[in-house]
Amino acid sequence: MVKSLFFAPFVLSGVVVGLVFSWFFDPSFGLLKLIIGHGIPVLGDEKYATFGVIFAALWPQIPFCMILYLTSLTGINPEIIEAGRMEGARGWPLLWHVVLPQLRPATFMSFTLTIIGALRSFDLIAVMTGGGPFDSSTVLAYFMYDQSIKYFRYGYSAAIAVVLFLIMAVFIAYQLRHLLRSES
């Protein structure tokens, strides 16, 4: 039951997450103002807007990575840990030299999927900042939308989509190559 509560943010829509964090960061009546005592315009300041969106994007991403690590931890062969202990590894050395190398596939998968998710993030930007202030939180996907819908530059927007596709294709090809190499 507790594990499913941790995973709940992952199944929420990006729009819902954006609305929740827009309320959280609101300088007039947001939860952040109640916590620290005074209002900071996180989403209205170009220095902080990107960090606010990143913080909001991490909330649903952390449970996904947690599930990946949990399944990897349960999949570690106890004999490997026992062999490390028999060699004298305890505490940090056991973690660094025995456990973490076994978690390398989960770390790689989490890193790659987080980067791909960040590249295609549009909904959080659209709901929380609209790309602003002063385009400080604009990402490639939102810039593509902005060029096609606001400025009617469809060819330019299509070129941005191709560049976005190529960037994602590089990460996906790298991940597939890594997975196929680790299976053989």
pLDDT in the model for residue 120: 79
Q: How far apart are CA 21 and CA 17, in angstroms?
A: 6
Which is nearest to 14 in space by CA: 144, 147, 127?
A: 127
Mean pLDDT across 26-31 = 91
Mean pLDDT across 123-149 = 91
Q: How far apart are CA 42 and CA 88, in angstroms?
A: 49
| Whether residue 5 has pLDDT greater than 80 | no
Question: And the tokens for 97?
Answer: 């030299």
Which letter, b or e, does each residue of 24-54 get, where b requires 16 or more Cβ atoms within 10 Å of its Cβ? bbbeeebebbeeeeeeeebbeeeebbbebbe
Q: Tell me whether the omega of the peptide bond preceding residue 133 falls within 30 degrees of 0, making it cis.
A: yes
CA angle 177–180–183, rounded 5-degree value:
150
Count Cα atoms within 13 angstroms, Cβ side, for 163: 11
At 145-167, the pLDDT tens digits run 999 999 999 999 999 999 999 99
How much is the pTM? 0.81
Q: How far apart are CA 116 and CA 110, in angstroms?
A: 10
Q: Domain 2-183 is in which class?
A: mainly alpha
| Whether residue 174 has pLDDT greater than 90 | no
What is the Cα gyration radius of the chain? Answer: 21
